Amino acid sequence: MSAPEVSVVIPVYNEEDVLEALFSRLYPALDALGRSYEIVFVNDGSRDRSVAMLREQYQRRPEVTRVVLFNGNFGQHMAIMAGFEYARGERVVTLDADLQNPPEEIGNLIAKMDEGHDYVGSVRRRRHDVAWRRLASRAMNRLRERLTHIRMTDQGCMLRAYDKAIVDAIRSSREVSTYIPALGYSFSQNPAEVEVEHEERAAGESKYSLYKLIRLNFDLVTGFSVVPLQLFSIFGIAVSLVSIAIYLVVIAKRIALGEGDGLWVIWDRDILTFILIGIVLFGLGLVGEYVGRIYQQVRERPRYLVQAVLEPKRDA
Ligand code: UDP
Ligand code: MG
């Protein structure tokens, strides 16, 4: 079997209520594309009928279906990672099982890639959002962009397409907690975004609690930026400088007024405490600096990606 043009990777965790609907829309949508494809389902340790349903579907369409079964729940991103491991397509599209992102949109992402993009993200067309929510999410985005240099309008949207080169780079990163769309973005050369329709979850319930969402944002910032660690240094320097300035003013004033007894003129417990706090904070940031370096080292991300090398063919 030769490599298909498109691989679609779908993590599945307790999705028995929605799988049938997914199959009945996904396969026709991909058949209609007129490109060779494969679908890689990764079962992330479902405890419901999902596995049986995936087996059935595999039997129905074995030529375009592959199923990877985890023996436990390792999380959505690890499931996608495994899907990347097994996907053979020239382009890999990730999609949620719950039909929140319509499979009919896959064609649009692929068409965008045809224009020469190696990474195509998606932005949910928002219909009923109130103004302040839109503002809040825009502010959140800008903050993240500044911290991590990752421009992603809609981080919650998993419908994304990656070129094989990016998938390989993602695969070769050996990190345990990661956010795949951001990792993919950081390896991309010419990213783009398209607007997609967005629906409510077709059936079943969200596997994400508020806590998990907060964790995700944390992963995003700590996984792609060491700024939080460096913040302490900056804060420490600021505290020190301000306290030293106040200190000098106070001492100068005391001397001018002839206050204080001998050497005690330079003693001011409160201000000296602040200077010390500043130094401690600075030290904390300094340690953070080293920890950050260790952190970057252990992730073993590829340090650079070579697109091509132009050189004469060597004779063997
Ligand atoms: N998922 C998974 N493992 C998990 C949680 C979720 O594989 O531990 C899958 C889930 O089956 C779905 C996708 O990840 O295909 C997104 O999950 P969900 O729709 O619950 O997230 P939400 O859309 O609410 O953010
Ligand atoms: Mg969902």
Looking at domain 6-208+303-310, its CATH class is alpha beta
Listed residue (50, 193, 190) closest to 122, CA to CA? 193
pLDDT of 171 strictly over 70: yes
Distance (angstroms) between ligand 2 centre and the Cα of 10 equals 12
Place of tokens 């596997």: 207
Average pLDDT value for residue range 28-57: 95
Report the nearest-CA residue for atom 13 of ligand 1: 96
At 189-226, the pLDDT tens digits run 999 999 998 887 777 777 766 777 677 777 778 888 88
Letter string b/e over residues 196-229, b meaning 16 or more CB atoms within 10 A of that residue's CB:
bebeebbebeebeeeeeeeebeebbbbbbbbeeb
pLDDT of 64 strictly over 90: yes
Average pLDDT value for residue range 167-172: 93
Distance (angstroms) between ligand 2 centre and the Cα of 184 equals 20
pLDDT of 27 strictly over 60: yes
At 251-306, the pLDDT tens digits run 899 888 888 777 788 888 888 898 999 999 999 888 888 888 888 888 888 777 66
Which ligand 1 atom sits closest to the C-alpha of 204?
20
At 112-144, the pLDDT tens digits run 999 999 999 999 887 666 777 778 778 878 888
Which ligand 1 atom sits closest to the C-alpha of 213?
25
Average pLDDT value for residue range 55-78: 92
81, 98, 206: residue to mutate for ligand 1 pocket, most atoms within 8 A of CB:
98
Helix/strand number for the chain, H first, E second: 10, 7
pLDDT for 127 equals 60
Three-class SS of 148-191 = HCCCCCCCCCCCEEEEHHHHHHHHHCCCCCCCHHHHHHHHCCCE
CB distance 232 to 288 below 8 Å: yes
Structure tokens at 261: 């007894």
Q: Is 107 in the pocket of ligand 1 (CB under 6 A)?
A: no
pLDDT for 208 equals 67
Show me where the domains of the chain are located: 6-208+303-310, 227-299
Q: Is 296 in the pocket of ligand 1 (CB under 6 A)?
A: no
pLDDT of 62 strictly over 70: yes
pLDDT for 307 equals 66
The DSSP secondary structure of 47-75, one letter per residue, reads -STHHHHHHHHHHHSTTTEEEEE-SS---
Distance (angstroms) between ligand 1 centre and the Cα of 236 equals 41
Where residue 1 falls among pLDDT bands split at 50, 70, 90?
Answer: low
pLDDT of 188 strictly over 80: yes
pLDDT for 84 equals 95
Lowest-pLDDT range of 26-35, 40-49, 68-77: 68-77
Q: Is 75 in the pocket of ligand 1 (CB under 6 A)?
A: yes
Report the nearest-CA residue for atom 19 of ligand 1: 206
- Ligand approaching nearest to the C-alpha of 54: 1
Q: Which residue has the higher pLDDT, 12 or 266?
A: 12
Q: Which residue has the higher pLDDT, 314 or 39?
A: 39
Average pLDDT value for residue range 159-182: 89
Average pLDDT, the chain: 87
15, 96, 200: residue to mutate for ligand 1 pocket, most atoms within 8 A of CB:
96
CB distance 55 to 67 below 8 Å: yes
pLDDT for 315 equals 63
The model scores a pTM over 0.85: no
At 86-105, the pLDDT tens digits run 999 999 999 999 998 899 99
Name the residue type at position 168.
D
